[in-house]
Amino acid sequence: MGTKPRRGYDAADRRADSLDALELAPVTGWNAHYVDGEWRPRENRDTLDVMNPATREPVGAVPAGTDADVEEAYAAADAARRAWAERTPDERASVVADARELVDAYREEFVHLFAVECGGARLKADIELDLTGGTMSVAEDLADSFGTDERESVVEGKRNLLTREPAGVVGVISPWNFPLYLSMRAVAPALALGNAVVLKPSTHTAVVGGLAVARIFEEAGLPDGVLNVVTGTGSEIGEAVASHSTPSVVSFTGSTEVGREVGAAAAEQLSTPALELGGNNAHIVTDDADLDRAVDGGVFGSFTHQGQECISINRHLVHESVYDEYVERLAARAERLPMGDPREEGVVVGPVQNASQYETIVDLLERSVERGAEIEAGGDHYEWFVEPTVLSNVANDMPIAAEEHFGPVAPVVPFETDEQAIELANDTEYGLSGSVHCEDRERAMDIARRLDTGMVHINDQPLNDEPHVPFGGVGASGIGRYNGEAIVEAFTETKWISVQDEPREYPY
């Protein structure tokens, strides 16, 4: 569709702010890798433009890393890991705590980065910064997770001691949608638990998801080589990060398609893959639901950060008896959401982060309308902006509902019975999250338990993450869990030490 002025956006104000002007930036600017405690300028490497999604103009550049850069990063991490693991838990926790305080001190700089690199509005920035602080705080407490557990033995006079040790080196590949948080969700606990890390952030958010993380830990006093950040495209260096022989664990957050490749590459090296992948999350609204609460949750879960979260609502499954009212109310709310450049005060919905994702959303939307879906609100799209869109008359097998659209689109699908709602919700390869709105708590719990997902939220919406609660999915949504004790399992190894206190009798 054609270009037109955006709600809440002054088209004349197309400024491309420099990332290098930020107080947070290292002396060299962002056009350098961080390896073995050094900011290494790009020299003869190619560069990758950092694009502002609202203006589609470059705001800086980062190095296009090579396999050789990845090799140097892993070598530095491997050389530094043992000395770091030998630091006391208090020492490791102190560095993470100092880094957390720096994230808070640089809050406004991060808000700026989220706007010009992610297309994230202030609300999204505040949510992400709060999540980042929370996951770092929990990581501090995880540093002292190495107590000894004694178990009985079937052999007389023997003691069995179970201890934990750092896994060694952790490779982290993070995405562009919540780049700081989803990098830190792996980096902070890995460091606190005594591991060294090689981080490859998304090409689209290489600064806030990677280089800024390095800058924070550098200022916090992390020893050289313990955290290394290499920027570059997934097609050029992603495989090198995932398939390297050094890491004991490879952590990846992103699409299921790429996650399968990362998991296979890691497994080939006998590295443990920790994968948090895509979702097709259902927001179920029963006939007795409180529609005020259901619509509130539906708006927040569909349109926050333009629906660009793996746990966003992908489908609204609504009982036929309240379907029309729900659609009408959801559409009215969507129409009122302020959209525009995220640097503008009051903007809630910003641009889609990149051209590829924008084209995907538009394609799924147009193909679904061709099949009979009706636009009740929004539907327009221009440049990298997609209006908050509500669709009625949607079938569960239409592209916008069957595929993870990752955009500000709310397809509403009717159902007749709880059984049908459960069947529709489970009719996907994904199993990440979901939500159920129902006033009968026993009925709601029954529906929740029958959903094939790793997480379900009753009388809320799927966009929930708490850093002390296991987070992850089933099926094509990933392997393993993040947060709290679950991440300790992923980033440490259990060692069995037995002690034969009394002479043992052998058969020969």
310 is catalytic: yes
* pLDDT value of residue 214: 98
CB 194 within 8 A of CB 141: no
- Strands 474-475 vs 430-431: parallel, antiparallel or unpaired: antiparallel
Longest pairwise C-alpha distance within the chain? 90
The angle subtended at Cα 266 by Cα 262 and Cα 267, nearest 5°, is 115
| Angle between helical axes of 484-491 and 179-192 (0-180°, round to 10) | 60
* pLDDT value of residue 451: 98
* pLDDT value of residue 29: 83
Alpha-carbon distance of 114 to 103, in angstroms, equals 13
* pLDDT value of residue 147: 86
| Angle between helical axes of 212-219 and 179-192 (0-180°, round to 10) | 40
> Residue 207 region, left (φ>0) first, then alpha (ψ -120 to 50), else beta?
alpha
The angle subtended at Cα 240 by Cα 179 and Cα 269, nearest 5°, is 110
Transcribe 301-325 into DSSP letters.
HHHGGGG-STTSEEEEEEETTTHHH
Specify the residue for token string 């952030």: 201
How far is residue 389 CA from its own chain's centroid?
A: 23
**Looking at 152-263, which runs of residues are DSSP E strands?**
158-166, 169-173, 196-200, 227-229, 249-253
* pLDDT value of residue 5: 36
User: Of 72, 117, 276, 403, which one is the catalytic site residue?
Assistant: 276
3-state SS, one letter per residue, for 110-179: HHHHHHHHHCCCHHHHHHHHHHHHHHHHHHHHHCCCCCCEEECCCCCCEEEEEEEEECCEEEEECCCCCH
pTM of the model: 0.94
Helix (H, G, I), strand (E, B) or coil at 191: helix
CB 300 within 8 A of CB 124: no
Q: What is the pLDDT along the chain (508 residues), one digit of tens a residue?
A: 333 334 433 433 333 456 765 678 887 789 999 999 999 987 787 999 999 999 999 999 999 999 999 999 999 999 999 999 999 999 999 999 999 999 999 999 999 999 999 999 999 999 999 999 999 999 999 999 888 999 999 999 999 999 999 999 999 999 999 999 999 999 999 999 999 999 999 999 999 999 999 999 999 999 999 999 999 999 889 999 999 999 999 999 999 999 999 999 999 999 999 999 999 999 999 999 999 999 999 999 999 999 999 999 999 999 999 999 999 999 999 999 999 999 999 999 999 999 999 999 999 999 999 999 999 999 999 999 999 999 999 999 999 999 999 999 999 999 999 999 999 999 999 999 999 999 999 999 999 999 999 999 999 999 999 999 999 999 999 999 999 999 999 999 999 999 999 999 999 9
Alpha-carbon distance of 72 to 311, in angstroms, equals 35
Alpha-carbon distance of 277 to 260, in angstroms, equals 9
What tokens were used for 305?
Answer: 């950060």
User: Of 128, 310, 344, 403, which one is the catalytic site residue?
Assistant: 310
Q: Map out the domains of the chain with their CATH numbers.
A: 19-277+478-493 (3.40.605.10), 281-458 (3.40.309.10)
Please name which of 114, 150, 157 lies closest in space to residue 132, comparing C-alpha atoms.
114
What tokens were used for 345?
Answer: 């005060």
CB 368 within 8 A of CB 397: no
* pLDDT value of residue 18: 65
Helix (H) or strand (E) holding 41: strand 38-41
CB 283 within 8 A of CB 435: yes
- Partners of 169 in beta bridges: 196
